[in-house]
């Protein structure tokens, strides 16, 4: 059975690494982590995650809420 892939979007490195460790400990695969909204969209295109764990307060032009709709459209267009 394939592992569930989780994309972690978190701009604080220590928090992101802690989340990755915890998720992998629970049996999830974390193929990529992103630190910004634009990087999250790029990583979602590349990795096609089953779940996205998103920080809503991201640094940069787009916060997590701004990313949610285009990310949803992207993943639904790919059959997720």
Mean pLDDT score of the chain, rounded to an integer?
A: 93
The parent domain of residue 15 ranges over: 5-77
pLDDT value at residue 12: 96
Q: Would you say the C-alpha torsion 62, 78, 54, 16 has a positive or negative sign? A: negative
Look up residue 12 and give its two tokens: 């604080």
CATH of the domain at 72: 3.40.50.2300
DSSP state of 4: P
Nearest Cα to 68, choosing from 39, 41, 33? 41
Nearest Cα to 10, choosing from 39, 48, 36? 36
- This prediction has a pTM of 0.90
Q: Residues 6 or more apart from 15 whose CB is under 8 A from it?
A: 55
Specify the number of domains making up the chain.
Answer: 1
pLDDT digits (tens, 9 = 90+) for 36-66: 999 999 999 999 999 999 999 998 889 999 9
């Amino acid at each position: 059975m394939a592992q569930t892939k989780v994309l972690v979007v978190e701009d604080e490195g220590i928090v992101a690494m802690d989340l990755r460790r915890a998720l992998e400990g629970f049996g999830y695969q974390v193929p990529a982590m992103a630190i910004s909204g634009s990087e999250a969209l790029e990583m979602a295109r590349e990795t096609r995650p089953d779940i996205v764990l998103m920080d809503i307060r991201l640094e940069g032009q787009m916060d997590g809420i701004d990313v949610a709709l285009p990310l949803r459209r992207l993943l639904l267009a790919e059959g997720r």
